[in-house]
Structure 1
């Protein structure tokens, strides 16, 4: 009955909420007209073969954080004609279900025990838009070449926190967001992103990448956000895409910034360089970054504020360095009338600055700025 609601659940409109109820099976009597069934955080161990066969309107099925295994869900989803979003994250699955419905647009399999991906797993759902496979046991050889290539509409792919040593070959060319954080990648092939013209977000943080391992591989022409945080870089990578708006290089071993390191990044708005070993910044190294709003240089070894910072900065973080002085042309340089800013937040906590010896002319062009000191 469409107006019935299982006693253990809460029902409103076409949503049935049965999460966090300590149930060991899917509750009986969920109305056939339901569009969303939420069953996360329970103890469900299996799903009867034809349980969802009559749920022709169901679009969202959430089974996150249960006790489901491969055999216990075999055939459970193939007869749901309208299903678009299937959440199976946080279970005990060792393989990708092979009976996924053709209508599926989003599949979450994070936090399972997957060890391999086969191309046949996607034969029934070529329209998949979002695929999340983070926190599994995917290692070398676990994703055969072109195993994901049939997913021609794939927009987002997450492979964070696995044991991958390289970027899988034959990824769908229309991917816009690719997440590979927390793997064991040491090298990226030069042609890895060459044909991925739609790629906008790339996260390679917490891997084992060196400058030699990157070479000229970061050549995605529309890339806007790139994270290389927590790798083994000793200098700023060369040939970064001019399209970048956000660049995270925090937690590496970079010791100096050269004048030409960021000269091509005219669209850059956010730049993270914290937790490196930077002791030297060439004068004017950031000067031409007209779009830069936020610059983070915390936890480095700088002895002075970098000179000729860009005029558009809203925030510059320089805490936990060894800064003793603020050069008169750090913030105010060139044509004085063009150097006036609206609001600038300058963080200088935990440095070696002697306020009594500070040259107040260094801040003459700042209006409404906030300067923070701590000793």
Structure 2
């Protein structure tokens, strides 16, 4: 579909004129040079989308962003950010955080202050570790960390009793904590393809049997959807042979 609106490099003046009346701001697919501290004028903003702007760390004023106390959705996908800083913890109403397809190297521990977070998408980044404080995001239902460089995940994720979907495909995982299988009592989708562990390894973990019951129950109800892998069989969530990561 042909784009029918102009590409902007600065936040349009009209946005600041609307000010506190603004609830949704979608600036995706532009060429913003920066997203300034003036954003704190939008005190009632609930949804902010900055995806696909090529923004770098220094071009986003996180201090201003942290003043948006009513923000529930923040989309930062397809930019060039290398970190999510401590100010993320100020967004106490945030329910959805999506920052896929960036160059993320670091996620601040303060992300654990997001007690209302339900969906976290950090796929296709450069993460080698996750902050243990993620275990404090007690309402988290879905998390996608696929296509990173993770070698382990914190056992504290086992505290996420509402978690239903956890995607860790295409990382460098060599082990998996029992605590996640035992503690995430609503987990029904766990995807670990393209890691340095096998389905045989997972079957030996404490808590796997209980998880397997939930997973198969979901599968039996959704045969018409994508729970079947490309071979038409039941996808057990991991590879039968070990992958090697160079």
Give TM-score scaled by structure 1 length: 0.52
Which structure 2 residue ranges, 5 or more long, are not aligned? 220-233
Say yes or no: does 1:156 pair with 2:30.
no
**Partner residue in 2 for 1:232:** 126
In the alignment, which residue of structure 1 is the partner of 2:81?
185
Correspondence list, 1:38-57, <5 A: none
Aligned position for 1:197: 92
Question: Which structure is larger by alpha-carbon Rg, 1 or 2?
Answer: 1
Q: Which has the higher contact order (CA 8 A, sep 6+)?
A: 2
Q: 1:234 touches 1:253 (CA, 8 Å); kept in 2?
A: yes
Count of residue correspondences: 218
Cα distance in structure 1, aligned partners of 2:173 and 2:94: 30
Corresponding residue of 2:170: 275
Separation in structure 2 between the aligned mates of residue 144 and residue 194 of structure 1, nearest angstrom: 19
Q: 1:347 is matched with which residue?
A: 235
8 A contact 2:199–2:239 mirrored in 1: no
Per-residue deviation, 1:328: 8.7
Aligned counterparts of 2:123 and 2:192: Cα–Cα separation in 1: 13
In 2, Cα distance between equivalents of 1:133 and 1:199? 19
Correspondence for 1:168: 61
Instruction: Go from structure 1 to structure 2 and tell me whether the alpha carbon gap of 1:290 and 1:271 turns closer, same or farther (over 3 Å shift).
Output: same
Q: Distance in 2 between matches of 1:339 and 1:183?
A: 37
**Equivalent of residue 115 in structure 2, options 217, 221, 224:** 221
Offset at 1:201?
A: 0.4
Distance 1:245 1:239, change over 3 A: same
| Alignment CA distance shift 1:182-1:217 (3 Å) | farther
Q: Distance in 2 between matches of 1:247 and 1:279?
A: 19
SS at match of 2:124: coil
CA distance in 1 between counterparts of 2:207 and 2:181 reads 11
> What is the distance in 2 between the residues matched to 1:332 and 1:270?
17
Matched residues in 2 for 1:181 and 1:187: separation? 13
How far apart are 1:264 and its partner, in Å? 2.1
Q: How far off is 1:340 after superposition?
A: 5.6
Alpha-carbon contact 1:269-1:291 (below 8 Å) kept: yes
Higher helix content, 1 or 2: 2
**CA shift in 2, pair 1:121/1:304, >3 Å:** closer
Q: Do the aligned partners of 1:262 and 1:286 also contact (CA within 8 Å) in 2?
A: no
Q: Which residue of 2 aligns with 1:332?
A: 209
The CA distance in 2 between the partners of 1:237 and 1:328, in whole Å, is: 23
Q: TM-score, normalised by structure 2?
A: 0.76
